[in-house]
Structure 1
Amino acid sequence: MTDARNRWAAPFGWIARASRVPGEERRSLVQTTKAAVAAVLAWIIATAVLDLPQPFLAPYAAVFLVQATVYRSLRGWAQQVGAVSAGVLLAAGAGQFIPSVTVALGLVVFTGLLIGSWRGFGDSGVWVGVTGMLLVSYGNATEPVLLADRLLETALGAAIGAVLNAVVLPPLHGGRLRAATSRLASAVADVLDETAALVRGESPEAADVLQDRMLDVRSLVAEAEEAIGWTREGRYLNLRGRRETREEPLANLVTLWPPLTQLIDAVSEAARSEQPFRHPGEHGRGVVGDLLEALAEVARSGDPDRLDRCSKLVEEIDRLLVTPTDEVTTSIGLGAMALPARRIVQQLHAD
């Protein structure tokens, strides 16, 4: 009973979130509304203003040109108009030189799909063959006026969709970027804390758990890279581009992935090793653990002022590596951990 109630309530919850929170739901609602408005405008202009007969391509093109970014809308307009133009010309040629509709249909579809595979047409390439097929099958291929109408309808609808998307609340992807930043920062901080616990002497079995956690972090890094790409593309040609969230904090977290992987590999290898000289002594492990916990705090807070403590701990590790102590035989394991840890601190300082 509860599950059924939740299923019925889900759409209302989605609408409530869209009106309350500036997230994915609101962006989807805005884009859907713009697509509907673009279709209606394209139909009204095509029928009431231009008096085009059966202008079904106008609203169709308008809907598909309300894309996730302004750049994709403008690029899609050029691609779709180009694809439909090629299909119209192909149908016109078939109508002039091939008397059989059946033969013309097959040749137009075959040739149109081959031409549409050119990467310059993008996702709109299929419309070379489809447009030619529709015109030939409807018997419009031999009527230049109707061919011109189909081209005009497509250009009109595509232009309305692209312009509306570019002018009315052009889409931004800052929400996706902020969410990805928060998730990745939290995951990196948790992994650093777990690595610190392993350095300090937690059971070697914890190294296997840590490796599984790293797979989760790798997935979040991929998500972060995708969010950065969407944000950069969303800013391009966007009238609201200056309001877009900066991607630098997330990009900086992504750059920590290679040294973080090396650090955890070094710690895990040392923890599993049965050779005493591979694992640092108690004091060295304590310093490395303190460094990892300090880095976790920086990752969570994003506060560069906390890096001073990290730098001091790196200097302490360097001193342990060059100064003879009772733990001198552990320098191999300590050195393997020190290099990626130093790279993480340097990368955070550079950012």
Structure 2
Amino acid sequence: MGGKTPFAWVARAFRVPGEERRSLVQTAKATAAAVIAWIVATAVLRLPQPFLAPYAAVFLVQATVYRSLRGWAQQVGAVSVGVLLAAGAGQVIPSVTVALGLVIFVGLLIGSWRGFGDSGVWVGITGMLLISYGNATEPVLLADRLLETALGAGIGAVLNAVILPPLHGERLRAATSRLASAIADVLDKTAELVRGGETTDGLDDRMEDVRSLVAEAEDAIGWTREGRYLNLRGRGETREEPLANLVSLWHPLAQLIDAVSEAARSEQPFRHPGEHARGVVGDLLEALAEVARSGDPAELDRCRDLLGEIDHLLVTPTDEVTTSIGLGAMALPARRLVQRLHAD
């Protein structure tokens, strides 16, 4: 769970449309799918012991319609094999203990076939449940298990496609805008910190927000690619490259924040750059923030000029920066940020 505490995780889910909020929405959808599957199986179809219906519904709330439909086929296939395996073992093996061990062993082996995907484990689990519940020799109950699985999986897949379905192109654009804004805000905050006008208070929370949005952005890219399959609304024209480039900023940004925070907390003067050097770094961070927000090529050119000035400070023997470890620690990740923004 992201964040330092459960409260922070929940607060971030409501404040930032990132990984936490996506998890919260998917959890709510899976819960609703399980409850609906149970109600239909018990109140409408009046199936006895319909435990597989809510199970299947939960696992079919996936990130894309394609993934849900693929999962439906895999899960129904895996459960069908598990039912047949349990039926065969129940007919020829009189000992429940022996049948249970054999069904689990063979079922898990069969389930390891990659065609079953993540649903492969259901071959062994289904067989185990049927043997342990004593249903393996009752054809009517075996048929009920297949019906329950198909019902639950179908409800999960449909609910996932209808309730808050992934809006692939829109999600990609929104993720790009949110991540660019969050990165720019962190850079502005860091610029103030470098100049000595701010403390590190709140910077960790901002970085957690960026980390959450990076995770959401990576998912959005994957969903966009996968969501083109079976997407009746078309492929869309949204480009993935700008968002992928922003995601690539995460590691140098984290390194930069670590260097700045360490220098700000240090009581040793040689760890922190002098006032002029800090001003140059602050200007660079503000220019990087503007590039992240708007992609302004003029600001990117200014970033390169400021990097050149930092290089000059690092090799020029002045009283201010001769022993400044902090400036060198900040310069390297800042250079990587400029390079990756330039690659956009």
- Structure-1-length-normalised TM-score: 0.64
Amino acid at match of 2:269: Q
* TM-aligned CA distance change 1:332 to 1:166, over 3 Å: closer
> What is the deviation of 1:176?
5.5
Q: Given that residues 66 and 161 in structure 1 are in contact (C-alpha distance below 8 angstroms), is that contact kept between their aligned partners in structure 2? A: no
Name the counterpart of 2:309: 316
* TM-aligned CA distance change 1:296 to 1:136, over 3 Å: closer
Amino acid at match of 1:224: V
Q: Given that residues 262 and 340 in structure 1 are in contact (C-alpha distance below 8 angstroms), is that contact kept between their aligned partners in structure 2? A: yes
> What is the deviation of 1:341?
1.4
> What is the deviation of 1:108?
4.8
Work out which of the two has the higher radius of gyration on C-alpha atoms and give 1 or 2.
1
Q: Given that residues 69 and 172 in structure 1 are in contact (C-alpha distance below 8 angstroms), is that contact kept between their aligned partners in structure 2? A: yes
Decide which of 181, 189, 196 is 2:191's aligned counterpart. Answer: 196
Considering fraction of residues, name the structure with more helix: 1
- Alignment map for 1:75-154 (pairs within 5 Å): 75-99=70-94, 103-104=95-96, 106-114=97-105, 115-116=107-108, 118=111, 120=114, 122-123=118-119, 125-126=121-122, 128-130=124-126, 133-134=129-130, 141=137, 143=139, 149=143, 153=147
Name the counterpart of 2:282: 289
Question: Once structures 1 and 2 are overlaid, which stretch shifts more, 299-308 or 82-91?
Answer: 299-308
Name the counterpart of 1:280: 273
* TM-aligned CA distance change 1:173 to 1:225, over 3 Å: farther
> What is the deviation of 1:348?
0.5
**CA offsets 1:27-46 (integer angstroms, 9 cap, x no match):** 98xx79x969x97xx99xxx
* TM-aligned CA distance change 1:151 to 1:305, over 3 Å: farther
* TM-aligned CA distance change 1:98 to 1:261, over 3 Å: closer
Q: Given that residues 91 and 136 in structure 1 are in contact (C-alpha distance below 8 angstroms), is that contact kept between their aligned partners in structure 2? A: no
> What is the deviation of 1:315?
2.1
Amino acid at match of 2:204: M
* TM-aligned CA distance change 1:247 to 1:108, over 3 Å: farther
Percent of residue pairs bearing the same amino acid type = 55
- Structure-2-length-normalised TM-score: 0.65
* TM-aligned CA distance change 1:78 to 1:113, over 3 Å: farther
Q: Given that residues 33 and 156 in structure 2 are in contact (C-alpha distance below 8 angstroms), is that contact kept between their aligned partners in structure 1? A: no
d(CA) in 2 for partners of 1:307, 1:166: 42
Q: Given that residues 314 and 342 in structure 1 are in contact (C-alpha distance below 8 angstroms), is that contact kept between their aligned partners in structure 2? A: yes
d(CA) in 2 for partners of 1:198, 1:162: 48
> What is the deviation of 1:80?
1.6
1:172 aligns with 2:192: no
> Aligned to 2:210, what secondary structure does the other structure show?
helix
**CA offsets 1:55-89 (integer angstroms, 9 cap, x no match):** x7997798554633234324323432332223222
Amino acid at match of 2:339: Q
**CA offsets 1:227-270 (integer angstroms, 9 cap, x no match):** 42254145322424623854433332332222223323333444
Name the counterpart of 2:14: none
Q: Given that residues 273 and 326 in structure 2 are in contact (C-alpha distance below 8 angstroms), is that contact kept between their aligned partners in structure 1? A: yes
Aligned-CA RMSD value? 4.8
> Aligned to 1:84, what secondary structure does the other structure show?
helix
> Aligned to 1:242, what secondary structure does the other structure show?
coil
d(CA) in 2 for partners of 1:251, 1:291: 23
d(CA) in 2 for partners of 1:282, 1:171: 52
Name the counterpart of 1:348: 341
Gap regions ≥5 residues in structure 1 = 1-22, 48-52
> Aligned to 2:257, what secondary structure does the other structure show?
helix
d(CA) in 2 for partners of 1:290, 1:306: 11
**CA offsets 1:193-233 (integer angstroms, 9 cap, x no match):** 23222322347xx2xx25x6235414532442244225414
Q: Given that residues 57 and 157 in structure 2 are in contact (C-alpha distance below 8 angstroms), is that contact kept between their aligned partners in structure 1? A: no
d(CA) in 2 for partners of 1:220, 1:349: 20
Gap regions ≥5 residues in structure 2 = 1-20
Q: Given that residues 77 and 158 in structure 1 are in contact (C-alpha distance below 8 angstroms), is that contact kept between their aligned partners in structure 2? A: no
**CA offsets 1:115-149 (integer angstroms, 9 cap, x no match):** 34855552563464445644885766264x875x4
> What is the deviation of 1:345?
0.7
